Amino acid sequence: MVEKFTRMDQHLYAYLLAHEPPEHEQLRALRQQTQKMPDGRMQITPEQGHLLGLLVRLMAARRILEIGTFTGYSTLAVALALPSDGHIVACDTNEEWTSIGRQYWQRAEVVEKIELRIAPALDTLARLECERGMDQFDLAFIDADKTGYDAYYEGALRLVRPGGLIVLDNMLRRGRVADPNETDADTVALRELNAKIASDDRVDHVLLPIASGMTLARRRQ
């Protein structure tokens, strides 16, 4: 059978990046600093940042929920795409990592758009629902601990408005989800969530082979 997909090697990936929009100088600087960290692989890729920014602009989104901030590359990519009155609630538990991002948010002059909440994400989601009610966000981006994804997805479904979008990263887990011999907790959690979303009549959805896999789930009316 003829392959219907393109295999990505370093040469083709360099070509892809060369034909993406220019990366903002503060995004590039933050990405380069994060890559030097032991956990730098957790950072999203430049093309994922471009995709998130494009989705924000396509939706004319103004209120964003981010679950898992790390050093803030995705936060910055979204903030740069938001209008001047846009707002992001960014959830994380690690003050050391997020403090790195804050420097670049300030240099890019978007720090006023970002509300960083340092606490377990489920606590923050429950607090947001109590404070401001349901249906308050246009888009949610989930990129945190994988065993928590199902609960984050459910929380996002309550907090994202009808017609809003939930984006989940790492949904292919570098191919491990398709291998039944991979039984670590993270892979099992993602495999089960993929199956759940595939049959979830609350959303329209697509699973894309970008980076380590991204799911886009639009909450139905």
List the domain boundaries for the chain: 10-219
Tokens 């220019």, residue?
22
- Domain 10-219, classified CATH 2.40.40.20, yes or no: no
Per-residue pLDDT, 15:
97
pLDDT tens for 108-136 read 999 999 999 999 999 999 999 999 899 99
The pLDDT of residue 126 is: 97
pTM, rounded to two decimals: 0.95
What's the whole-number average pLDDT of the chain? 96
158-193 residue pLDDT tens: 999 999 999 999 999 999 999 999 999 999 999 999
CA 15 to centroid of chain Cα atoms: 24
Q: What is the DSSP code (8-state) at residue 111?
A: G
End-to-end CA distance of the chain: 40
Beta strands in 123-212 (DSSP E): 137-142, 160-169, 203-208
Q: What is the pLDDT of residue 1?
A: 60
DSSP string, 60-84: T--EEEEE--TTSHHHHHHHHHS-T
Give ∠ CA 89-95-97 in degrees, rounded to 5: 90
Burial 192-216 (b: 16+ CB within 10 A, else e): ebbeebeeeeebeeebeebbbbbbb
Residues of the chain with pLDDT under 70: 1
Side chain identity at 81, as an amino acid letter?
Answer: A
